[in-house]
Copies of this chain bind each other. A is one copy, B any other.
Amino acid sequence: MSPEEFRELGKQVVDWIADYRAGIESYPVRSPVEPGWVRDRLPAHPPERGTGFEQVLGDLDEVLLPGITHWQHPAFFAYFPSGASGPAVLGDLLSSGLGVQGMLWATSPACTELEALAVDWLAELLGLPPHFRTDAAGGGIIQDSASGAALVACLAALHRASGGRVAAEGITGRYAMYVSEHTHASLARAARISGIGEDNVRVIGTDPRTRGLDPQELDRAIAADAAAGVVPALVCASIGTTSTTAVDPVRQVGEVCRERGVWLHVDAAYAGVAAVCPELRWISDGVAECADSYCTDPHKWLLTNFDCSVLWVADRGPLVQALSSTPEYLRNPASESGAVIDYRDWQVPLGRRFRALKLWSVLRWYGAEGLREHIRSGVELAREFAGEVAADDRFELLEEPVFGLVCFRPRYPDLDPAAADRRVLDRLEALNSAGNAYLTHTEVDGRVQVRMAIGAAGTERRHVHATWDAIRAAFFG
């Protein structure tokens, strides 16, 4: 495809996306197709001869769109939002167009330097401590996901806990990780992947009121492991759990970690970006003093398309030592000089895209003001919605929302708990099948809760109101 063909077809694709975004409300939010529907409508075998790009756009319109769940739909309230704003999409397009590899500083210096600066900017916007900056002892990096971030944090923690021995010797003793029942599943997965094993993940109890991890029980569990010869490797505190956006008491948890010499990873994947608003910055209390690593995802609530999860470490040493190895074909003068960051030593893959461009575009386009406005709009709509739920006594609000997520359930007083939960799930499925909105569920204290996650880029008050009408009709229609 020549540059001139690209110019012409590229504009068609831009038009296609602009039309898609402008008309997105005409689609059912959740795809209605059955398994196999999409595949069955596409050719079983690859073409011998190439075809024009109109064929790709044809596949898209006729076969793929019905199989798409529209995450950018303003009535998408499932999981967490996955912001793909215009400037982010354009930043990503520039990255694809340049087509550079940023595995080493030397393989495209701008890719590394813009990333380091963009994550430093973000640290400043979120009020994170100066030692997290890439121009200090720590540093930030864009990872593919909070799962990837949790894994590398775990590897750095294992490196430190083993006195630098695991990289060479492997796991030769028992190591433990500490989480709560509300911690994201990616932590237990990091324990599996890193060879710690899921049996060595201690699930610490929580305060029944706040669902926050109990620091006293954590302290006892760490002491018991240490006494039994199990090496405590990593504690995870969450700011905004996936189920209900609960916030662990980071400072108290962190004090236990410092006392016991255990790595503290803070998983603020969803909620961390909210600290762009000064009134929400309390969520980071204790991070500056206690966190060894900290992760938040601009690709959730900060208008940046997936993947863009930012991990910061207080000290880059253990991370780089855990992951670095240099075959001859990657040696170069800049790396040997020690004057540059080689981000391949901070992540699982070797190669890397120029993801900083999309974060940069978002920070430039919206500025601090625009980002705060976006977060505040989500919080405000969530509070209003929670107010409606609380005012309707057929529903039970789990708690006042702090961020953009509202958890609630319809009361079915005539049914026993199991039957009531089944009905909630059935009615939720019917609501989602109707296509006007999409919500998911979770389980809290053994009971099903409906999750309404507000924060998609296009969501306005009218979408929340219309969905509240649809919810009442679905659960009590």
| A148 on interface, CB distance cutoff 8 Å | yes
Stretch at the interface among A203-211, A332-340, A396-404: A332-340
A6 and B21: CB pair below 8 A? Answer: yes
A18 and B3: CB pair below 8 A? Answer: yes
Which residues in chain A, 79-138, are within 8 Å of chain B measured between CB atoms?
A: 79, 82-94, 96-101, 105-111, 113-114, 116-117, 121-122, 124-125
A53 and B340: CB pair below 8 A? Answer: no
B364 and A108: CB pair below 8 A? Answer: no
Stretch at the interface among A189-197, A277-285, A378-386: A189-197
Most buried by B among A38, A84, A97: A97
- Docked Cα-Cα span, A79 to B7, in Å, equals 29
A278 to chain B, nearest CB (A): 13
B368 and A64: CB pair below 8 A? Answer: no
Known: A35-B340, A360-B59. A17 touches B93 (CB 8 A): yes
A93 and B46: CB pair below 8 A? Answer: no
Known: A93-B13, A365-B50. A197 touches B174 (CB 8 A): no
| A305 on interface, CB distance cutoff 8 Å | yes
- Docked Cα-Cα span, A92 to B84, in Å, equals 13
A329 and B451: CB pair below 8 A? Answer: yes
Which residues in chain A, 311-367, are within 8 Å of chain B measured between CB atoms?
A: 322-323, 325-330, 333-334, 337, 339-340, 348-353, 360-361, 363-367
A187 to chain B, nearest CB (A): 11
Which residues in chain A, 29-78, are within 8 Å of chain B measured between CB atoms?
A: 31, 33, 35-39, 42, 45-53, 55-56, 59-60, 63-72
| A5 on interface, CB distance cutoff 8 Å | yes
B185 and A35: CB pair below 8 A? Answer: no
| A476 on interface, CB distance cutoff 8 Å | no
Which residues in chain A, 129-171, are within 8 Å of chain B measured between CB atoms?
A: 144-148, 151, 155, 166-171
A145 and B192: CB pair below 8 A? Answer: no
Per the CB 8 Å criterion, the residue count for chain A at the interface is: 158
B325 and A53: CB pair below 8 A? Answer: no
In the bound complex, residues from chain B placing their C-beta under 8 Å from that of A70 are 100
Known: A1-B365, A100-B69, A108-B71. A18 touches B6 (CB 8 A): yes
Q: Which residue of B lies closest to A19 (CB)?
A: B3
B322 and A192: CB pair below 8 A? Answer: yes
Dominant SS among interface residues on chain A: helix
In the bound complex, residues from chain B placing their C-beta under 8 Å from that of A4 are 18, 22
In the bound complex, residues from chain B placing their C-beta under 8 Å from that of A191 are 170
In the bound complex, residues from chain B placing their C-beta under 8 Å from that of A392 are none
Q: Which residue of B lies closest to A78 (CB)?
A: B107
A229 to chain B, nearest CB (A): 14
Known: A50-B366, A51-B365, A192-B322. A349 touches B144 (CB 8 A): yes
| A294 on interface, CB distance cutoff 8 Å | no
Contact of A124 among B45, B56, B169, B198 (CB under 8 A): B45
B99 and A185: CB pair below 8 A? Answer: no
A68 and B17: CB pair below 8 A? Answer: no
A15 to chain B, nearest CB (A): 6
B86 and A100: CB pair below 8 A? Answer: no
| A307 on interface, CB distance cutoff 8 Å | yes
In the bound complex, residues from chain B placing their C-beta under 8 Å from that of A252 are none
A351 and B145: CB pair below 8 A? Answer: yes
B89 and A350: CB pair below 8 A? Answer: no
A101 and B89: CB pair below 8 A? Answer: no
- Docked Cα-Cα span, A175 to B169, in Å, equals 11
A79 and B97: CB pair below 8 A? Answer: no
| Interface pairs A-B: 6 shortest CB-CB | A195-B195, A170-B197, A1-B86, A84-B99, A67-B110, A17-B97
Q: With A42-B114, A71-B107 given, name 16 new contacts (CB 8 A).
A: A1-B87, A9-B86, A10-B14, A11-B14, A13-B93, A14-B93, A35-B334, A46-B122, A53-B361, A56-B360, A68-B100, A68-B109, A69-B100, A69-B107, A169-B197, A329-B441
**Can you show 27 pairs from A to B with CB atoms below 8 A apart?**
A2-B86, A3-B22, A10-B93, A17-B93, A33-B110, A36-B113, A36-B339, A46-B363, A49-B370, A51-B367, A56-B87, A64-B110, A79-B107, A92-B93, A96-B305, A144-B351, A145-B351, A147-B348, A147-B349, A147-B350, A169-B197, A170-B192, A172-B197, A193-B323, A195-B195, A307-B353, A328-B441
